[in-house]
Structure 1
Amino acid sequence: MTAETKSPLEQVNDTLSQLKEMRHYSKNYVEQLTAQWLLFDGQLKKLKQAGKFEDLMTRQAEFHDALDHEIEELEEVAASLQPPPVENTAA
């Protein structure tokens, strides 16, 4: 199925899946980087380099917050694109 043949709901769900996967891997890599950074924090402070890494950690946190916000918004879009439930009119 190509993007042209997918419904808007399918396209939104595909994008959501990709964003969630990106968030998952990004957070894992940042956690690994943070762990490594903490091992050298004292040495970096002595070299007056810690501020640069602290800034990067702050920006990555802001990125993840923004990404979470976008995921929430797309989830709302996906919910709005859901077809209404079929009512059972059988008596």
Structure 2
Amino acid sequence: MARAVPTEPRSNRVQRTTPSPTQRRGLIRNLEDIVGELRKVIWPSWAELRTMTFVVIVTVVVVSIMLGLIDYVLTQTLVKVEFPKIG
């Protein structure tokens, strides 16, 4: 049988209420601040954006190839050391 868990009297419970107008104003002010900060950002030009994107893609490809080669070499080395009859 489940034991009764003591609860707070109803008068002490926190009641949920709708947000007050000042809380709503705080949300609107926050959104206005966000938009204002985004307007201050110096966005890159299309040429800069293309260049940076190209650099990122080339870097990812080069690092992927390097990691693939390292993985292949280590795998082949371990196969020959651990299982000499198989390799």
- With normalisation by structure 1, the TM-score equals 0.39
The structure with the larger Rg is 2
**Which structure would you say has the larger RCO, counting Cα contacts within 8 Å and 6 or more residues apart?**
1
- With normalisation by structure 2, the TM-score equals 0.40
Structure whose residues are more often helix by fraction: 1
